Amino acid sequence: MSPQKAQAEIVRLSKILKQHSHAYYTLDAPTIPDSEYDRLFQQLVALEQQYPALQDANSPTRRVGAPPLDSFSQIKHKVPMLSLDNVFNQAQLDEFCNRLSSRLESERFIPLVGEPKLDGIAVSLFYVNGKLDYAATRGDGTTGEDITLNVKTIHDVPLQLLGDDWPESLEVRGEIYMSKQAFQTLNYKAEAQSQKRFVNPRNAAAGSLRQLDSAVTASRRLSMFAYAIGYVANNDERGDQIVASTHCEALACIKRWGFSVNNYVQKISDAHALKTYVSQLSQMRTGLAYEIDGLVFKVDAFSEQSQLGFVSRAPRWATAYKFPAEEAITCLNEVDFQVGRTGAITPVARLAPVFVGGVTVSNATLHNMDEIERLGVRIGDRVVIQRAGDVIPKVQRVILEERPESTTKILLPEICPICASPIEQDETIARCTGRLLCPAQLKETIKHFVSRKAMDVDGFGDKLVEQLVDKELLTCVSDIYRLKKPDLVLLERMGEKSADKLTAAIENSKRPLAERFIYALGIREVGETTARTLAGAIDTIWHLFDMTEEALIALEDIGPIVASNVLEFTNSPSNRQLVEALTSLGLAPQFSKNLVANQNLALTNKTVVITGTLPHFSREEMKQKMLQAGAKVSGSISKKTDYLIAGENAGSKLVKAESLDIPVIDEAAAMMMINEPQSS
């Protein structure tokens, strides 16, 4: 790039960054995701490094934040509140560590402290003789806003320090944040009162903190974690000495004095521990009660910190490791409508591919038409995409400021995009009325039917179902049992061997437990547990078709809604025909009431686990009996376990079985199954 071009680019980036920084810090209304800000910021840093002569004294890279609002009185910080340099991956983090060692002329790994990087608002709390004197925001790093009244409403902020070994003047720094739970509640209330929702917990915390009326702040559930000591002074020989010589000790002090210190702060003494910390915290991130946007690593020893010193806006002894952004901006190019198993139509946004949360995303769910309305999104809009953890990416909001001139409204089609049947709207859900004549609904129904928790047909994957429906080899569910090897070998990626395996798997699925079969039928709101309840109440599948509403409601955990869904299913002639077709093709669900009489079927090829002390047999004796009855005996519980035989003092296996909804039986029930009922 020529110096002229670089100059123009520096001016352009500085201008954009200043605008966004004003929106973020002063107005509490960020217009772009942090990741985008960071990206532009890094571009400017790189250009300024390449052309140092072009750097402006007022460049956004030289300062921290933006000037405070006039409506709060201002407080000058005794020690400037600086920012942190960022690293974005393990290699850059390793470089940071290497730089520390070389600056300190050490061969060793410089001991660090790792901390979650809390996504809130930095605050400075000043205590005189143990009493909270004032609280200030960071502002531009030199001068902040006086938010004392508001901060006093936060429960984790001690108004009087505990103990008596604190310095006479003490500044504690930390982050004020709103928990994910408090944020949700706040937005839920805002929506109920038709008020504007907050974009994210940090934004909500900032908005709540910068209220001129502290009663409003008090009504919002804010919290604080303390992460450092800022300024210290004593009127005696101790001067500005604090009782600590390391960051860890300092945190222990402030904890003793009554502050909340984050639980995941950890000492890190070698490169291996550093890697482990990064990977553990990255995994824990979505499960935490509050949002973190990265980790902070600080040199532990204060002596080493002071040797390392500062650069213009950040200490050399600390860095922020930023997690991959969970939000990114892209263009919404198109909206397609997907049809689910029950015909529900889901609008799906097709996006210009964008890297977010560690992967490239090109689709995001829009849930339903109400959501589209709520977001106010149109085709062609610039949108913020969010992808947190393993959650399906979603459209978070529209960037109205960047709306192009030609956007178009998103309209619900009148007919199903797959089968052209009319679409009906019931409450918020639009549905295709084509039922199993709609290839999309048929595909999803068959995928569910053969799935692991249902008929468990090995090797019958989604891609195969799609091919078979597209080629009209499957035109209804019962066609599964009409598939012949010659049909299968014609399919893509299907050799003789796989075709043999698949036909065997289909054949083997013909004697399922009744509950699996009922679950496989895909009756609305009948999950595995309800299916088990229904199966336990009947002894042939036809009884299900005879059950009245009263009989259904009399069953445990079945209420009027599920009962009406079951009745809707059983009253439909096409469903009766389906079950007739399946049974005539040899499908024979196994009912537990019949299993006792027919012991072989009860246990053949079933996987059982034995635990605890049984009343009459040792575990080994029970194992032999099970093996003779055709069961497989395993030492550990997994999703594949069919029964757990549990005696007294059954421990973790029982807990695990219950959590996986695996039937637990006692010795007597096990003996019934192998037809050796106990006399005593």
In order, the DSSP letters of 286-324 are GGSSS-EEEEEEEESBHHHHHHH-B-SSSBTTEEEEEPP
Which DSSP letter does residue 26 get? I
**Cβ pair 242, 232 in contact under 8 A:** yes
Question: Angle 266-127-112 (CA atoms, 0-180°, nearest 5)?
Answer: 20
Least Å from the CB of residue 636 to ligand IVH? 40
> Which residue has the closest beta carbon to ligand IVH?
122
Which position among 18, 78, 117, 501 bears the catalytic label?
117
- Closer to ligand IVH by CB, 83 or 467: give it: 83
Closest CB 189 distance from ligand IVH, rounded Å: 27
DSSP character for 248? H
Instruction: List, in order, residues 6 or more apart from 322 with CB less than 8 Å away.
Output: 38, 86, 87, 88, 117, 293, 294
Exposure string (b/e) for 332-350, b if CB count within 10 Å is 16 or more? beebebebebebbbbbebe
Tokens of 214: 């502290």
> In this structure, what is the dihedral angle of CA atoms 556, 609, 654, 617, given to the nearest 10 degrees?
100
* Beta strand residue intervals within 108-160, DSSP E: 112-118, 121-128, 131-137, 143-145
By three-state DSSP, how is residue 233 classified?
A: strand
DSSP three-state, residue 421: coil
Report in angstroms how near the CB of residue 82 gets to ligand IVH at its nearest.
4
State both tokens at 676: 């050796």
For ligand IVH, give the closer residue by CB, 307 or 467. Answer: 307
Tell me whether residue 117 is one of the annotated catalytic residues. yes
Shortest Å, Cβ 320 to ligand IVH = 5
Is 479:502 a contact under the CB 8 Å cutoff?
no
Residue type, 577: Q
CB nearer ligand IVH, residue 315 or residue 612: 315
CA angle 512, 514, 517 (to 5 degrees): 70
Q: Among residues 66 and 320, whose Cβ is nearest to ligand IVH?
A: 320
Whether the Cβ atoms of residue 259 and residue 158 lie closer than 8 Å to each other: yes
CB of 97 to ligand IVH, least distance (A): 17
The closest of 371, 321, 318 to 349, measured between CA atoms, is 371
Kindly tell me the burial class for residue 70, based on how many C-beta atoms sit within 10 Å of its own C-beta (0-12, 13-18, 19 or more): exposed
307 or 594, CB closer to ligand IVH? 307
CA angle in degrees (0–180, nearest 5) for 582-585-588:
65
What are the CA-CA distances from residue 641 to residues 276, 402, 636 (Å)? Answer: 33, 55, 8
Q: Tokens standing for 172? A: 């504690």
Strand order in the sheet with 121-128: 131-137, 121-128, 169-178, 222-233
Q: Return the closest-CA partner of residue 320 out of 357, 300, 292, 291.
A: 292
182-217 burial by CB neighbour count: b if 16+ within 10 A, else e? bbeebbeeeeeeeeeebbbbbbbbbbbbbbeebeeb
Query: Residue 225 or 519: which CB sits closer to ligand IVH?
Result: 225
Question: H/E/C letters for each residue in 544-581?
Answer: HHHCCHHHHHCCCCCCHHHHHHHHHHHCCHHHHHHHHH
Would you state the torsion angle of the CA atoms of residues 23, 27, 33, 34, taken in this order, to the nearest 10 degrees? 90
CB of 95 to ligand IVH, least distance (A): 18
- Closer CB to ligand IVH, 41 or 227, in the complex: 227
Nearest to 173 by CA among 249, 122, 121: 122
State in angstroms the smallest separation of the CB of 294 from ligand IVH: 8
Contacts with ligand IVH, residue ranges (CB under 6 A): 82-84, 115, 117-118, 122, 138, 175, 227-228, 296, 315, 318, 320
Q: Would you say 297 or 643 has its CB closer to ligand IVH?
A: 297
CB half-sphere exposure, 671, CA atoms < 13 A: 13
Which two tokens mark 527? 């999950």
CB of 63 to ligand IVH, least distance (A): 13
- Minimum distance of ligand IVH from residue 117's CB (angstroms): 4
Query: How far apart are CB 113 and ligand IVH at their closest, in Å?
Result: 9
Nearer to ligand IVH, 261 or 523 (CB): 261
Q: Minimum CB separation from ligand IVH for residue 436, in Å?
A: 54
Q: Which is nearer to ligand IVH, 244 or 483 (CB)?
A: 244
Residues forming the active site: 117
